[in-house]
Amino acid sequence: MSKLPSEAGYQHDVLGWLEELGWEVYGLDGEYGGSRLDREYNRTDKREVIYWDLLSEWLVESEINPEITEDNVDEVLNSLQRDLNHDTLVTGNRDFHEVLTTGKKFTLRAEGFVTDRDEDGDVDVIYVDLIDFENLENNRFVAADEFQVDGPNGRIRPDVNLFVNGIPLVTMELKSIAEDNDFYDAIRDLRNYEEKRSRLFVPGLFNVAADQGEYRYAAVGAPQRLYMPWRNAPEQYAVEDNEPKQAIRAMCNRETLLNLLKNYVFHERQPGGDARIIPRYMQYYAVEEIFDLIRTTDHKRGLIWHTQGSGKSFTMLFAARNLIQGATLGDRAPVLDNPQVLVVVDTDDLESQMENQLNALNFDRFDVARSGAHLQRLLEEGRSTLVLTTIQKFGNVDSDVQGNDETVIMSDEAHRYMEKDLGTKLNAALPNAYHFGFTGTPVREGDRDTFRNYEIPDSEDPYLHRYSIKDGIDDGLILPVHFDIHEIEWDIDRAALNQAFDAEFDHLDLDEKRELIQEYVTQTEIAELRSRVSAVTRSIDEHYRGVEENGWKGMVVTPSRKAAALYGEELLKYRDPEEVEVLYTSNDPGAGDESGPGDKKLISQFHTTPEERSDIIRRFKDPDENPKLVVVCDMLLTGFDAPAVKAMYLDRNLKNHKLLQAIARTNRPAEQKNNGLIVDYQGVFRNLDEAFEYDDEEVKEMAAQPRDELFEKLERKIDDLLGLFEGIERDDSQETLLECLSRVSSHPEKRDFKQGFREVRDLYETLEPDPDLEKKGIRDDYRWLLTIYIAFRRNNNRDESPEDEFRAQTQKILQENVDVTDIKREFPIYELNGEDLEAMLDLPSMGAKANAIEHATQAHLQPRVDSNPQYEEFGKRVERIITQRQNGSITDPEAVERLTEVSNEILEFEEELSEQGLSDASYAIYLTLDEEYGDVIADEETAKDVAQDLWEGFEEEIQTDFEGWETRDSTRKAIRKMIIQRLIKKHGLSSLAKDDEFLEETIGYLIENAE
């Protein structure tokens, strides 16, 4: 196996890949690329995030803005600089994106331009293009590593930044698995950068977090859960066996990057604050496939088969907006000249959801058809807008009313209606339209065939674009679903069956009667037997208690309103009324078939109004509100997303697309949710070939998998983890725990334990409270590994309370079987001081000593590294030692010796600071003067005097008693003025007073070290 590169080596690889894509690359020659760019383009103020000189040069020389000259370009840039100021990152990001894509509004105070004039006719208003979207080669594409950005809370230095015309559009953080870091660590760093230096991300398009095996990207400001892979690539960018390289080639090639920036960004109003939306790879490529088909063929139909939960609505909206706005890029003309785009759904709820979505996106130019007559009028007018309608409204639309030759139809969940009468009406109304069907569950049943309806002649595939269940699970977009078949013993209720049946078959024993009933009585009739419902309900309640402890919700699926009402009544015997709701409407199965007054009374008790149902659904989606269990017939089985739902109790014989849709209610991701679960009381999953009559075997394999596979996977993972500690006596003593921690103190064991335990925890919490965990000894294995993990987190992550991260099932084990207080006492969080250093050196093994000193030293340096260049030097030395230890080039004893040496130097340095009476800022300035300005400064004493004087001037003259002082331009100007005046008047150092680099560095030290 080839050796994985270090983080620096991986950074070098990425720059090389970008160079192959045509980027100007800074950083391949051994010098920090950011430092070299700073010199070339006179970036002395490290707070600035745009290379203003580069942008100025491009604006004047590119000729895309003929009105901009050397005489007025500075005025444009000064105005643009104000656009970087923002109340929140997301609002700043939204507003700057508009500037990037539509141009910077600028007022010219000159005559003779054919532009909009103000009321007096004295000035011209133009829009200055910052990027050339027509001639892509006219732009400057620059990639640089180690771009340093300073600010009041320290500095950041992302691994790689991508600039277009000096504007940072992409920030990358790269990690090396060889150094026990992965893309999760990179995401954490990026989110920290956004918080510390949000100004860098205001112009940004997206961020990239990657290690050697995985690539993740997300829009600026996105939470960790939205960092997704980009797995596919066109042929010219495809790479075998190197996912990060392929993803960078596919996303960061110059054309795709600018296409994403210009044509694939939404900003959405959300309850918790606005969010930027950029496409997932399957959305992007599906839209591009639609456009290619329209541009290059005579075909007018195509199927987009994307699994449920993959974001089909946004795929349609990205396509619709590009079509309506006539999106262009480079030499690509608009797909169509003036199209009308129809988005068709099949329920009022979905129409309402889509209308709300369009409003939240501030989608330009859309209409909602309020009736069949209104729809017909919109179609006859043919205006270039998005028209949202339900398929039902086509029931009252005449044939051949297409008023726009470039009509494009996008049918959501097309399998549900396009082969029926309303689909025929739609086709008759718009006979010459382009028509694209979107579905996660295509149908092939008798005369109904979604594939045939949208087939492309001569195509090898029955679809235009495919994103499978397996793709969704692999990408983490949806979760795997497991099923568990529950056989329930129940007493036959003689009163529930008619007397004729009972008399005729009275000679049979109980098992024979049950078998006969299951053969000759319908599934619905069986599901409506009170005795059976009572037995199943006991099972549901017992099982759900384990699900409920971890905070998840559940659904009970029945074949009729009567069955649903029976389940509602029985569940209320076990649960508080607010925890259970029953939802059905007059359109659900069995409506109107109630056999008597008793049935009607049973069913009517759970009747709800539309408003009440909406409120119940809203509360059910909220993990912190009741109800916990909802009983349904047909409601919520399609188009309902609730990540808090984990378990479905299935007592209805569903098949094919209906079963796939039901399964998908449980597969939506949520934090610490690892899978969905179907508890099958009908035996639907006994024969997967009957349950899923699809030619595609992957559908059967991936739709749902036996729960037994979870046990097998958990046992394998636990065996792998226990193998890390082979030969160590299994007890809970401190000596044993220290020996275990020593085993997982370096690569690759450290990574294997950290990642492996995370998987074991997730699987275990999924399976609890299954009694087989105890029978198979899994619970005891997990308890011992949990003890090691708590100590590991204390030792490696310096967590005060690592036990808080676990869900209820693991918390129960901790409370009953693990003495966390003892672990905390035996594994203290060491600080870097003389007493703790001695304690660390007294630990029983070299691995334990190295670990403890390494983490204490890093924790000590991390908040100080930007306040003083000496701390930065100490930090580099510690990182080198850690890297050498991780890659095996030095032993644990050697690492202990070197880390101890650095630790002692840090303590001596801080003691010297204290003795000299210099503040951290004074000492930082002193070191800078002494080491870098020896030709200006006479001697060490002069350097100390100047440094101390500048710190005293800061404390005396600069106002710091109001919130946000450290980010104000006025504050920096005042500090700069104070420094210049004191250097010239008190010290006669006029040359130093003109040195911008020294001034900016000193301002940074003063602000960083202010109390």
| Residue closest to 35 by CA, chosen among 140, 143, 144 | 144
CATH code for the domain of 539: 3.40.50.300
* d(C-alpha 856, C-alpha 873), whole Å: 17
- Inside any domain, residue 468: yes
pLDDT at residue 522 in the model: 64
Mean pLDDT (the chain) is 85
- Inside any domain, residue 524: no
Q: What H or E segment, with its residue span, contains residue 105? A: strand 104-108
* d(C-alpha 252, C-alpha 250), whole Å: 6
Clarify whether residues 659 and 767 are in a common domain. no
Q: Is the dihedral of CA 136, 137, 138, 142 positive or negative?
A: positive
- Quote the tokens at residue 951: 């710190």
Tell me which of 894, 916, 938 is where a domain ends: 916
Clarify whether residues 785 and 927 are in a common domain. no
- Inside any domain, residue 1003: yes
- Inside any domain, residue 142: yes
Clarify whether residues 575 and 639 are in a common domain. yes
- Inside any domain, residue 317: yes
Tell me which of 267, 291, 308 is where a domain ends: 267
Clarify whether residues 471 and 350 are in a common domain. yes
Nearest 5 degrees, angle CA 61-CA 64-CA 66? 75
Clarify whether residues 598 and 628 are in a common domain. yes
pLDDT at residue 153 in the model: 67
Tell me which of 649, 668, 703 is where a domain ends: 703
pLDDT at residue 500 in the model: 44
Q: Is residue 819 within 8 Å of residue 825, measured between CB atoms?
A: no
Record the pTM.
0.82
Clarify whether residues 786 and 838 are in a common domain. no
Residue ranges making up the domain that contains 627: 482-490+529-703
| Percent composition of the chain: helix, strand, coil (DSSP 3-state, to 5) | 50, 15, 35
| Residue closest to 277 by CA, chosen among 439, 93, 479 | 93
Clarify whether residues 431 and 315 are in a common domain. yes
* Intervals of the chain under pLDDT 70: 1-5, 109-123, 152-154, 179, 418-419, 490-523, 586-598, 688-703, 795-827, 866-867, 1011
Q: Look-up: residue for tokens 């003083």?
A: 868
Clarify whether residues 849 and 807 are in a common domain. no
Clarify whether residues 119 and 145 are in a common domain. yes
Give the CA count within 13 Å in the CB-facing half-sphere of 107: 7
* d(C-alpha 511, C-alpha 301), whole Å: 54
Q: Look-up: residue for tokens 């990152």?
A: 89
- Quote the tokens at residue 129: 């293009």
Clarify whether residues 815 and 944 are in a common domain. no
pLDDT at residue 208 in the model: 98
Phi and psi (nearest 5°) for 140?
A: -100, 115
Q: Is residue 278 within 8 Å of residue 206, measured between CB atoms?
A: yes
Clarify whether residues 987 and 938 are in a common domain. yes
User: What is the 3-state secondary structure of 264-303?
Assistant: CCEEECCCCCCEEECCCHHHHHHHHHHHHHHHHCCCCEEE
- Inside any domain, residue 59: yes
| Residue closest to 843 by CA, chosen among 724, 729, 742 | 742
* d(C-alpha 691, C-alpha 376), whole Å: 41
The packing angle between helices 749-767 and 708-723, to 10°, is: 150
Clarify whether residues 699 and 713 are in a common domain. no
- The total of structural domains in the chain comes to 6
Nearest 5 degrees, angle CA 914-CA 919-CA 925? 120
- Inside any domain, residue 515: no
- Quote the tokens at residue 217: 């990207």
Q: In 10 A of CB 726, how many CB atoms?
A: 7
- Inside any domain, residue 521: no
* d(C-alpha 856, C-alpha 651), whole Å: 57
User: Which amino acid is it at 614?
Assistant: S
